[in-house]
Structure 1
Amino acid sequence: MRARRLRRLCTVFTVAVTAAATALTGAAPAAANGAPYVGNQYDYGGVRTPIDGDIPTVDSIADSITGSTDATLADVANHRASLPYGDITPGSGPALSLYPGPTGIPASDQYSVQVNDQPSFVYKSVAAKHDTNRELDTSWTSFSFTGSVTVQVTALAGSGLTGCLIRPYSAAITTTFAGNTCTFTMSQPRNVSVEFQPNIHNPIQHPMLVFANPAENDVPPATGDPNVLYFGPGVHQIGSGNVLHSNETIYLAGGAWVQGAFIANGPVDNVTIKGRGVLDGSFLDTGNQDSNKNQPGMIDIADQSSQNLLVEGITLVNAPRFNVRALAQYTTIENVKTMSWWYSTDGMVAGNKALVENNFVKSNDDSIKLFWGDEVVRGNTVWQLENGAPFMISWNLEGDPSNFHVYDDDVIHAEHYQIEKSAVFRALHAGAGTPNRYLFENVRVENATWRLFYLTVENNKWYDPTLGYGELDQLIFRNIHAYTNYTHPNVVQGIDGTHKVRDVNFVNVFTDNRCIGNAEDFTIDPATTNAIRIVKSADGSCWT
């Protein structure tokens, strides 16, 4: 496979500069930014230039992006501080909060959970919805804590099990296994997947998730505040016609199961939606993929003049379309969990000036859309089903969104298996805009074997080409660690020599069991791209 890719690339690129890179022995330790580097730059027309040393152009772009997004974080925090019940810092206790199973909601028949020797209710989602789904359901439990807890997850229906593990790997949680029970200790909040060997590779038919939340803080009162809509434990059937209002707080207590959706009919300001309960969208499901495309999001704020939104702590399940579409300026989406099945169900998208942090997203269509700019996306965990992308950079965008800092995120599964253009990092840009200035850093990818990068300007059936095309510009992928090998080459391609993909930088990308420094695993179109850099640290310290 790799030899065929290399032969193909040799026919694509005309090597204009053939000076070989100097062999590096006894190199000095890498600088904080990973320099010095070795690798190659591929320019318009097929020119290849070896790189040996610093890459100040890339460092300058990265520093500029982080300077802008750091200012955005401060702006978002200042706005969030003005919200009633808007404090997202972890609470001081109690040490453990377990939540009751809502009456009428059956417990999972796949798993049971004990936390500090006390039962924690285990939910199970409805059956998979689309004929391309290869999973059957998903079970999960949710609790809040401070300090540390011991968790025991028992596979009730498993046979022939030999052990267990916790994803993401970065959580570094050690397990013990006996009698179909996986036991582990958690000393900090984390959303994790508990997987039983040998069933740890895609597709896992019965996933089990543990949402270990921080202790709650700034909880609104159940009564007495006219601007609070409070849902206590139990089932609440409120439907889809729930209009959001400015200066409103919606609270879903742990153990609440709310069959409802919230929509803004125009601009809204200063809205908080929080808690530890569940928002269920199954009542919106028409049972038909095409019809579901007309359904609203479960949290749906489309007016971009809206300001100051917080969505924190809740779990959303069974959305037929969007889970969270929150296009308000100064939005925070914090520790939100989503699980959905339909082919066109997206996870979350935030508006201009946003923080998307510590969430768990399990979607079939795009999990996290990066469309509006001035955005920080960090600490998230993504389980991607078969259709969309964990990180969607562009899809027919008309504007020029810029300044995205995406870092310290984990993709624990990407179940792509049949859609040719699938990838973990993906742009299928057919719009007239030029999305630019994306910095991805310290992103870890597990159990994904199809493709890592697909970055293109290309037409599709949902775009009118008479509207014209833009470009993709200034993308940095730095310290990306993919634990698996890929069956499809990475693609970087514009649509013509005027509408290019340009200034794209792959810095210390570890994939296929090595750090890459050339285009061996890429298909890069020399007629529609420029300044594509692929480099690795010269001292061999590629992020491992």
Structure 2
Amino acid sequence: MALPPQLIVYPFPGAKEGNAIHNSDFKVQVRTPGGAWQDLYEYNVKIDQVRGTDHHVENASMATFDFSGEVEVAVTSNKQQVKEAVVRPLANGIACTIKGNTVYFRLKQPMNLSVEINGDKYHNLHLFANPVLLSIPDSTKKEVIYFGPGIHEIAGGSLNIPSGKTVFLAGGAVLKGRLVVDHARDVTITGRGIIDFSVKEGVRVAHAKNVLVEGISLTQCPVGGSDSVTVRNVKSFSYYGWGDGMNVFASNNVLFEQVFCRNSDDCTTVYATRKGFTGGCRNITMRNSVLWADVAHPIHIGLHGNTNHPDTIQNLHYTNIDILEHQEKQIDYQGCLAINAGDNNLVKDVYFEDIRVEHIRCGQLIHLQIPFNQKYCTAPGRGIENIFFKNIAYNGNDAELSVITGYSEDRMIKNIVFENLRINGVVMADNMAGKPAWYKTADMARIFVGEFVRGLVFTKKE
């Protein structure tokens, strides 16, 4: 059922001028078509730019609002003359017009976007056009912890959420402290507010069951030793070392949906035994999301586990994902879609479908390997099996050579299927036109296939 047209903007958390949480690079306004323009608050978000081998913290912008129906957006650059502009992900097909120093465009559905002026991706505007909240918790009820607009300090820096509680961060709320769901169940954290971007692991879910995290912005959201966790429409930014966005450790039945991750380490990972959490992983899904890895992998699976009591990571699904950037100069840690099986892990039954890679600044498209990474592991993995890639697309010439390689006869990579792998518009298939008879299909796709790989297939289907 379609909602009636609505446009909801939120109170400012504090003054714009002289406030460290504000960024003055842009003025952002929204309106219903033909209506009065309304101002949004432009938050400051820190991100990591790697120049050479050095890391530099840069200040970018973020703004949010809610709507249904249709909305017009105006983004004015306060710092530079606008010569060109792009709104990404490109798959959304958002056309914009430029008048003076203002970029105009329309949206007909909620989405998470990057607005980039003159090709600048490190001082851009992250614009989050959210769906309208269908219900707001009653702040008077004892099971509700309510944070209204404004800046809130958590004493001691951390708030433990008991079972059965709902935490609501209203739009315009900035929470200085992290929220922890530890040995609890039936917990909801929702709203349109922000956990301050200086707070590492803004939400931590550990040994928990039936948890929903929805609609807020933060640094990191790790899930460990847990079952039945949903992370929906959550935005993650990080700028410091070890700044993974959305880790999963030894957990089952975890869903990430409509998330946006721009991180200074892996955007999303699935590991087994790690950081005090024990066991494998099963039924992990990420869909309808946007990933931007300023460092390391957009998607990374399998490195950590329990060598003495081997774990299995299985039944993972990644569907309808836009990868905006990948940059990593360390070759061992490259790969937009990466599975590194270590610590005697077995990784199997992984599905990548409808994934669009826009830009690889430095890195690989595909990386499947069973390494003995002695820096992080005490053994190589047991195997990688039954991996299915469908409708993966990359346009560009900057990617390093992709890698698929096993370890030994008893630690192999088996049954890897690429269906409609499209590189620069060309589908890589075993019967593709123009492939010399003595070439492997992987040669055409710029994929190095090493030893101990069996059952590698490239197909094309209409």
TM-score range, shorter chain: 0.7 to 0.9
The aligned counterpart of 2:38 is 118
Q: In structure 1, which of residues 138, 146, 167 is the aligned counterpart of residue 68 of structure 2?
A: 146
Task: Name 2:448's counterpart in structure 1.
Answer: 523
Q: How far 1:126 sits from its partner (Å)?
A: 4.1
**CA–CA separation in structure 2 for the residues paired with 1:425 and 1:535:** 19
Q: Does 2:240 align with 1:342?
A: yes
Distance 1:282 1:335 in 2: 20
Contact 1:428 1:458 in 2 (8 A): yes
The residue that corresponds to 2:290 in the other structure is 381
Within 5 Å, give how 1:444-459 maps onto structure 2.
444-449=356-361, 450-459=363-372
Question: What residue in structure 2 maps to residue 360 of structure 1?
Answer: 260
C-alpha distance in 2 between matches for 1:123 and 1:452: 32
Which of 86, 93, 99 lines up with 1:178 in the alignment? 99
Counterpart CA distance in 1 for 2:100 and 2:297 is 37
Q: 1:95 and 2:23 equivalent?
A: no
Are the structure 2 counterparts of residues 411 and 235 from structure 1 closer, same or farther at C-alpha, using a change threshold of 3 Å?
same
Amino acid at match of 2:90: Y
Map Cα deviations across residues 145-170 of structure 1 (whole Å, 9 max, x no partner): 111110011111123x3221111112
Q: Percent identity?
A: 27
Counterpart mapping for 1:234-249 below 5 A: 234-238=150-154, 239-249=156-166
Q: In the TM superposition, what is the alpha-carbon distance from 1:396 to its structure 2 partner?
A: 2.1
Write the distance in 1 (CA, Å) between the matches of 2:294 and 2:30: 29
User: What CA distance in whole angstroms lies between the structure 2 residues aligned with 1:244 and 1:500?
Assistant: 43
**Residue 202 of structure 2 aligns with which residue?**
298
Q: Say if 2:113 is the partner of 1:195.
A: no
Choose which of 23, 26, 35 in structure 2 pairs with 1:108: 23
**Which residue does the alignment assign to 2:210?**
308
- In structure 2, give the amino acid aligned to 1:328: S
Superposed displacement of residue 375, structure 1: 2.3
1:534 corresponds in structure 2 to 458
- The corresponding residue for 1:136 is 58
Contact 2:28 2:76 in 1 (8 A): yes
| CA distance, structure 1, for counterparts of residue 355 and residue 456 of structure 2 | 20
Partner Cα separation in structure 2 for residue 91 and residue 339 of structure 1? 31
Asked if 1:474 corresponds to 2:386, the answer is: yes
- Which residue of structure 2 aligns with residue 38 of structure 1? none
Whole-Å separation in 1 of the counterparts to 2:299 and 2:84:
31
Q: 2:227–2:253: 8 Å Cα contact kept in structure 1?
A: yes
| Counterpart code for 1:307 | K
CA contact (8 A) 2:214 2:231 kept: yes
Secondary structure, in 3 states, of the residue corresponding to 1:218? coil
- Relative distance call for 1:283 and 1:335 in structure 2 (3 A) is closer
Following TM superposition, by how much is the alpha carbon of 1:417 offset from its aligned partner in structure 2, in angstroms?
A: 4.3
- Could you say which structure has the higher strand fraction? 2
Shift of 1:533: 1.4
- 1:277-301 CA-partner distances (Å, limit 9, x unpaired): 00014156xxxxxxxxxxxx22112
Cα shift at 1:127: 6.7
Quote how far apart the aligned CAs of 1:462 are.
Answer: 4.0
Query: Structure 2 CA distance, aligned partners of 1:195 and 1:182?
Result: 10
- Give CA deviations for 1:470-521 in whole Å, capped at 9, x if unaligned: 1111111110011222441110011212101111111111114422220111
In 2, Cα distance between equivalents of 1:125 and 1:281: 7
Q: Structure 2: any 5+ residue segments left out of the alignment?
A: 32-36, 272-280, 430-440
Displacement, 1:129? Answer: 8.6
In structure 1, list runs of 5 or more residues that go unmatched: 1-89, 285-296
1:331 to 1:138, Cα distance in 2 relative to 1, 3 A: same
Tell me if structure 1 keeps the 8 A contact 2:197–2:237.
no
The match for 1:500 is: 412
Deviation of the 1:259 alpha carbon: 0.7
Aligned-partner SS, 2:91? helix
Letter in 1 for 2:221: N
1:168 maps to which of 86, 89, 105: 89
Q: CA–CA distance in 2 between the matches of 1:511 and 1:192?
A: 24
Distance 1:402 1:395 in 2: 13
Report what 1:226 is aligned to.
142
Shift in CA distance, 468/375, structure 1 to aligned 2, threshold 3 Å: closer
Cα distance between partner residues in 2 of 1:469 and 1:324 = 23
Cα gap change, 1:93/1:244 in structure 2, threshold over 3 Å: closer, same or farther?
Answer: farther
* Secondary structure, aligned partner of 1:519: helix
Cα distance in 2 for partners of 1:423, 1:468 equals 18
| Structure 1 contact 91–214 (Cα < 8 Å) conserved | no
- Render the CA deviation track for 1:367-398: whole Å, top value 9, x for unaligned: 12234221221100111112x21111221234
- The two structures, once aligned, show a CA RMSD in angstroms of 2.2
Change (3 A) 1:136 1:241: closer
Aligned residue identity for 2:265: D
Indicate the SS of the match to 1:173.
coil
- 3-state secondary structure, aligned to 1:379: strand
Shift of the alpha carbon at 1:241? 2.8
Aligned partner of 2:434 in structure 1 is none
Deviation at 1:430, TM superposition (A): 1.3
Match of 2:278 in 1: none
CA distance in 2, matches of 1:447, 1:99: 33
DSSP 3-state at the match of 1:395: coil
Matched, 1:460 2:381: no
- How many equivalent residue pairs? 421
More moved, 528-537 vs 172-181: 528-537
Give 3-state SS (helix, strand or coil) of 2:419's partner: strand
Structure of larger gyration radius: 1
